[in-house]
Structure 1
Amino acid sequence: MLRIPVRKALVGLSKSPKGCVRTTATAASNLIEVFVDGQSVMVEPGTTVLQACEKVGMQIPRFCYHERLSVAGNCRMCLVEIEKAPKSFYMLQLSYREGVMEFLLANHPLDCPICDQGGECDLQDQSMMFGNDRSRFLEGKRAVEDKNIGPLVKTIMTRCIQCTRCIRFASEIAGVDDLGTTGRGNDMQVGTYIEKMFMSELSGNIIDICPVGALTSKPYAFTARPWETRKTESIDVMDAVGSNIVVSTRTGEVMRILPRMHEDINEEWISDKTRFAYDGLKRQRLTEPMIRNEKGLLTYTSWEDALSRVAGMLQSFQGKDVAAIAGGLVDAEALVALKDLLNRVDSDTLCTEEVFPTAGAGTDLRSNYLLNTTIAGVEEADVVLLVGTNPRFEAPLFNARIRKSAITYRYDHGLGYDSPKISLKNIASGSHPFSQVLKEAKKPMVVLGSSALQRNDGAAILAAVSSIAQKIRMTSGVTGDWKVMNILHRIASQVAALDLGYKPGVEAIRKNPPKVLFLLGADGGCITRQDLPKDCFIIYQGHHGDVGAPIADVILPGAAYTEKSATYVNTEGRAQQTKVAVTPPGLAREDWKIIRALSEIAGITLPYDTLDEVRNRLEEVSPNLVRYDDIEGANYFQQANELSKLVNQQLLADPLVPPQLTIKDFYMTDSISRASQTMAKCVKAVTEGAQAVEEPSIC
């Protein structure tokens, strides 16, 4: 669609006839009055005619136009008549649309019965509404060779209508200029020119925005029709962003995962790991309780036997002899239940896998461990300083926001992966050239990655960044409630665990090894058998046989995020809920229910029987955990900075390099994605090239 700003449209003096658009400017405000089929609507200068028509509920057909992409004007479907204009504008009447549709269908194959886009196809819908039921085209249709762009996106390029949505998404949103057009007219093709993998962590979104069946999901190919599936609104837990998703299921199986609109978090995009790792929910699952026998082998047993064994150990040991570690995919309900269980045996050794410095303000001040500016707030920032993080692979949707707000070209400030001993000190002192950029900023933003805090000098890094953020706030043009200091977490459970009083990191367990260790979904490998006494009794509760299960003496099978109604808190402190899409496999149960049953057998019954009662307990411990889709603001940065001065730790000379540097590091980061064959194919494709996973195309 060709963008026609309303302010440039001709001013109509008489009442608009049916099917026309006229505009008049108002002197009282900056808004412009537009008449669409005689209906008045006020719009801002620069609004397109299509957007003005949509404001009054008029449906304008389009293929190339997308609200979040630049305007291309390729398809010519959105034509309308503007009163007294010398010619029709791109945005037109039914006769024009019927002709355009006939041209589009002239070369389009009749693949609807075998096309995965069937039922969700814009071309299908609009040809029914605006097209003809006859074709005058008798010549042979154009055929285009399919492109191999990796293991995720299947291409049937004969169906392509050259809307260029995928090209614009790759360039403008994903920041990867891998897609483009070659040829002209009837010979135009969309592809990568030289056959290669579409190297983007957001590549699956081109499937959603493709208006036809040219780009579809390879893992989902020929598995189900959209009207056959049941859709459940939920959230993603593969990172700490908390993207909103829709889980499509059929006969108790997850068939695919799609994005769900949330303007403040993920807009309408999701990462490839979120979209395609769902096959990991079906593999390497723990479906029955297991117990280690006299020969040292894990064997299946009953729930009663497994829980009785664990309860006996909890009755035998108390206090510091009992400890627990929570993993990255654990929900808030399970966290509070485990906390209550250990508190009843006089233990407070509850740890997370991820480290967060406790020196200085530590986790006592909530603003010290949140993304305070919020995910959507980054669009307002005029300067962003990233410290020890690569958001492209740690939080792809947050990275897309950064690109959207600021990045239009590469700009080297000479920082790179330098030693924090040099860079942070120089920025704090004002001797680094980038210090002046920060000083001149009106809305600066400093983002410290949680991966940087896993280092031995994590406390010193946090103190240095806190000092920089406070100095920026005092010396630059920051006004109002703008928050400079931000922490970008990598795992979904960390913020809720810190809110509930868990100790970050497992150093306390290493220093004082327990007799009984409870691993709640702890698959990060933060502790091994060698770190513990030989007689330490290990309980693993989780949904995958990944890192934690093999070292356990008892295994209690839990439910994954698609199999339970649970609370997660994202990196900005926003509480959200997953919903039950499918039932847990085999004898697996929800985590909080397992802990509740264990407490009863151990004779220390927890005071809740239903999910609502557990959430009432959550509210008692940390009220913000049940204020769903709300962010509780915190503003104790000055106090945190004062406390950071008490940190007695020196910065190391080692370069501050994020652990996820390349796209290969992105695909397999947790127990679900490590169990996914699709994610394994992605790693193989990146390592060996797209040809290594080439699959034959059926159509």
Structure 2
Amino acid sequence: MSAQPVNPNLPPDHVTVFIDGVELAAPKGSMIIQVADRAGIPIPRFCYHSKLAVAANCRMCLVEVEKMPKPAPACATPVMDGMKVYTRSDKALRSQRNVMEFLLINHPLDCPICDQGGECELQDLSLGYGRSVSRFAEPKRVVPDEDLGPLVATEMTRCIQCTRCIRFTAEIAGTYELGGMYRGENLQIGTYDGKPLTTELSGNVIDVCPVGALTNKVFQFRARPWELIAHESLGYHDALGSNLFLHSRRGEVLRVVPRENEAVNECWLSDRDRYSHQGLYAADRATVPMVKGADGQWREAPWNEALAAAAAILREHRGDDLGVLVHPATSNEEGGLLARLARGLGTGNLDHRIFNRDFSDAAVAEPFAAAPADIEQADVVVLLGTNIRHEVPLLHARLRKAQVKRNARIHAINPVDFEFTFALAGKQIVPPSRFAEALGDAALREAVRGATRPVLIVGAIAENHPQAAAIRAAAREFAAATGAALCRIPQGANAVGLARAGVLPAGRDAAAMLAEPRGAYVLYGIEPGLDFADTGAALRALKGARVVAFSHFACESTHEVADVILPIGLLPEIEATLTNLAGMDQGTRAGGKLPGQAREGWRVLRALGGELGLEGFDFTDLAGARASLAGAAAVAPTPGRAGEAGQGGLELALVPAIYRTDAVVRRAAALQAHPLNTAPRVVLNPADAEAAGVAGGQVARVKAANGTATLPVAVDARVAAGVAWIEGGHGATAPLGAGRVEVVKA
């Protein structure tokens, strides 16, 4: 090759490459397969994946390179100026066919019963590169399976040792749970210790596996790929809004797979978003309108009767006597119509901030100051009050990527030394009441001031604390002083969108509506016994009032407090838009069939608005609803009361449990069987456990201002002194609202 560039007009960091006679410009250091992919030139592969490190161990991508005596792996051969590559020459094709023959030597002939059949990379490539008759007459090897848990099914005899799954758990998930054991023809992929996968991203090994060795255990033997219809949808269990496809058959969602979007979730999906579809088909799903009679007994009712009963309650309690409480995963369209309904009924008591405890600063969810894709470019990150690995799993993966690729320095201020898959440059494990003080640490500020792209991420522990206003003020001051991009994680999948849609109080906020009970309430998408910041106060207020529940599930707590249950569709069953933590509006398509007589929420709101004779409910379709909501004025909420910290005892660190975040996830059987879904418990620092006279494994009574819970005790030095760590979303922990608790031996 000449020392002079083939094309001197190219930038100095680019070279000219010829692939199958096509002249291409490529960045220096690119691999042949990357250049070919960008040009649309197909090269077969198994081990190569654009998001994973190069392994070059399957050799399926062998190509001919001029002046090289042997075929070269396209995934591991960097391009050079003037290089000529042939992907379809006799030499290249012969090499690829020989590799395919070796790969098929031990592969079982069980395509008819394999869940990967029909979408298998090995099937596709063997059609083009395989022989019609096998020359291998010896017995095929058999590999024993191990149980990887409730989410991933294994058939490791099919494994071709591409190592994609190993590289995923090491590089992306960061848990290093899979590896290769033995050598040569005895090589096996497994966990070595036989334990299930514990990463919150485990389902992605199914996507990267090119054969049927790792498949979806929940979907196993349910359907064939060609029977399924793909519908574009979104994850709605955290504020990232991961893009995904719902795969349904005859209206039943059978599987969820990621939809690539580099700005949001790349090509990955958290297990919570992948497997929560099981919850759509829970036994207590609300499928028919129900009305509670004067005798307190529930009966099914036709829609016109249920709507008339709901309208009668709302007419009787118009104005300040009515409160409207909305789940923060509610869509923008439903939120806008709820705000219109509240205005029409003359009430300013409207709120979606049902997880918050401090309203004194009138804070609402705001878009991140740095987009998710920009966060992985950060050089210093400060985590404040968040177990981000469980709160937003794919944002945690971005942080790991920032550290691995850019050597980002990550600092954490938390009440518990949570397990992250990245190393911390510094940490302060302190009670939440000292978060603001910790942000003033001189060493931390100096580390952040020296950064070019600093980021401060504030999570649920801080946002939902009784003194959240002071913590938020300290975070804003810290960001202004250091130049850090302030990223407050919205507390709900569509909290940003609902704030924009005006689902905010001009009167009483969520806490005030429950502390000063109203005569009637509208509950939208809420499971009353588990979804409120202070369950005790909520149930007391709701039990003494008339309640109209727009509900996805006819659960025990809804039956206990409601007078009318109007069944509505969940996000996978409706067309809607959500706004993610970056402020990006994203749309969904209906993928599942509405169960029974359930209807889309906007239809039910339109019908109820018509029953009440309110203005603005005369549209006939979703497009009309959206048009009528366009340009709605934003609402600035009025400041409310501060949370009550309480005195004495231990400070409660209430952390959202990863698989107990909402009603759908709580009903997904596979997620409830996952090792990360721990039983309800109280975790104490050893010194606090000794002072309380309790030990690990014993049962203790945890007393809060509004209730008492009886919980097993765990002792862990990762918990800050003076803190009781409890995961929310459990019925057993629901009585513990906030503030301080006293722990005594039961």
- TM class by shorter-chain length? 0.7 to 0.9
Cα displacement (A) at 1:623: 9.1
Amino acid at match of 1:111: D
Residue correspondence of structure 1 range 246-645 to structure 2 within 5 A:
246-283=245-282, 284-352=284-352, 353-355=354-356, 358-360=359-361, 362-363=363-364, 369-407=366-404, 410-420=422-432, 422=434, 424-428=436-440, 430-431=441-442, 433-473=443-483, 484-503=485-504, 506-523=510-527, 524-526=531-533, 527=535, 530-532=539-541, 535-546=544-555, 547-605=557-615, 606-621=617-632
2:28 to 45, 53, 58: 45
Tell me, yes or no, if the aligned pair for 1:325 and 1:506 is still in contact at 8 Å.
yes
Tell me, yes or no, if the aligned pair for 1:151 and 1:685 is still in contact at 8 Å.
no
Segment drifting more, 579-588 vs 69-78: 579-588
Cα displacement (A) at 1:394: 0.8
Q: For the residues of structure 2 that align with 1:263 and 1:615, how far apart are their CA atoms? A: 28
Give a deviation string over 1:244-279, Cα, whole Å, max 9, x none.
111111112111111101110011111111111211
User: Match of 1:380, SS?
Assistant: coil
Q: For the residues of structure 1 that align with 2:677 and 2:438, how far apart are their CA atoms? A: 41
User: Match of 1:601, SS?
Assistant: helix
Tell me, yes or no, if the aligned pair for 1:420 and 1:652 is still in contact at 8 Å.
no
User: Match of 1:168, SS?
Assistant: helix
User: Match of 1:460, SS?
Assistant: helix
Quick check: which one's strand share is greater?
A: 2
Cα displacement (A) at 1:667: 1.8
Give a deviation string over 1:602-640, Cα, whole Å, max 9, x none.
22252433211221233221699xxxxxxxxxxxxxxxx
User: Match of 1:232, SS?
Assistant: strand
Amino acid at match of 1:562: P
Tell me, yes or no, if the aligned pair for 1:242 and 1:570 is still in contact at 8 Å.
yes
User: Match of 2:401, SS?
Assistant: helix
1:682 to 666, 674, 683: 674
User: Match of 2:627, SS?
Assistant: helix
Amino acid at match of 2:454: P
Tell me, yes or no, if the aligned pair for 1:446 and 1:484 is still in contact at 8 Å.
yes
Q: For the residues of structure 2 that align with 1:386 and 1:102, how far apart are their CA atoms? A: 51
Q: For the residues of structure 1 that align with 2:6 and 2:386, how far apart are their CA atoms? A: 49
The answer to whether residue 233 in structure 2 is matched with residue 221 in structure 1 is no
Cα displacement (A) at 1:419: 3.1
| Unaligned ranges ≥5, structure 1 | 1-9, 14-21, 474-482, 625-643, 689-699
Tell me, yes or no, if the aligned pair for 1:418 and 1:655 is still in contact at 8 Å.
no
Amino acid at match of 2:668: S
Amino acid at match of 2:665: S
Cα displacement (A) at 1:325: 0.4
What is the TM-score normalised by the length of structure 2? 0.80
Structure 1 residues 378 and 549, CA gap change in structure 2 (3 angstroms): farther
Q: For the residues of structure 1 that align with 2:11 and 2:220, how far apart are their CA atoms? A: 56
Residue correspondence of structure 1 range 84-95 to structure 2 within 5 A:
84-91=67-74, 93-95=92-94
Structure 1 residues 525 and 686, CA gap change in structure 2 (3 angstroms): closer
Amino acid at match of 2:375: V
Structure 1 residues 486 and 556, CA gap change in structure 2 (3 angstroms): same
User: Match of 2:382, SS?
Assistant: strand
Amino acid at match of 2:663: S
Cα displacement (A) at 1:317: 2.0
Structure 1 residues 310 and 59, CA gap change in structure 2 (3 angstroms): same
State the partner residue of 1:673: 665
The answer to whether residue 121 in structure 2 is matched with residue 122 in structure 1 is yes
Tell me, yes or no, if the aligned pair for 2:658 and 2:676 is still in contact at 8 Å.
no
Give a deviation string over 1:147-181, Cα, whole Å, max 9, x none.
11101100000000000000000011111111101
Cα displacement (A) at 1:346: 0.8
The answer to whether residue 138 in structure 2 is matched with residue 139 in structure 1 is yes
State the partner residue of 1:173: 172
Amino acid at match of 2:402: S
Tell me, yes or no, if the aligned pair for 1:33 and 1:41 is still in contact at 8 Å.
yes
User: Match of 1:291, SS?
Assistant: strand
**Alignment RMSD (CA, Å):** 2.8
Structure with larger RCO (C-alpha < 8 A, sep 6+): 1
User: Match of 1:347, SS?
Assistant: coil
Tell me, yes or no, if the aligned pair for 1:159 and 1:213 is still in contact at 8 Å.
yes
Tell me, yes or no, if the aligned pair for 2:457 and 2:488 is still in contact at 8 Å.
yes
Give a deviation string over 1:429-460, Cα, whole Å, max 9, x none.
x52x2222111101000011134221110000
The answer to whether residue 229 in structure 2 is matched with residue 230 in structure 1 is yes
Cα displacement (A) at 1:186: 0.7
Q: For the residues of structure 1 that align with 2:422 and 2:515, how far apart are their CA atoms? A: 46
Same amino acid, percent of matched pairs: 36
State the partner residue of 1:101: 100
Amino acid at match of 1:525: F
Segment drifting more, 678-687 vs 238-247: 678-687
Structure 1 residues 533 and 276, CA gap change in structure 2 (3 angstroms): closer
What is the TM-score normalised by the length of structure 1? 0.85
The answer to whether residue 63 in structure 2 is matched with residue 80 in structure 1 is yes
Q: For the residues of structure 2 that align with 1:501 and 1:512, how far apart are their CA atoms? A: 22
Aligned residue pair count: 632
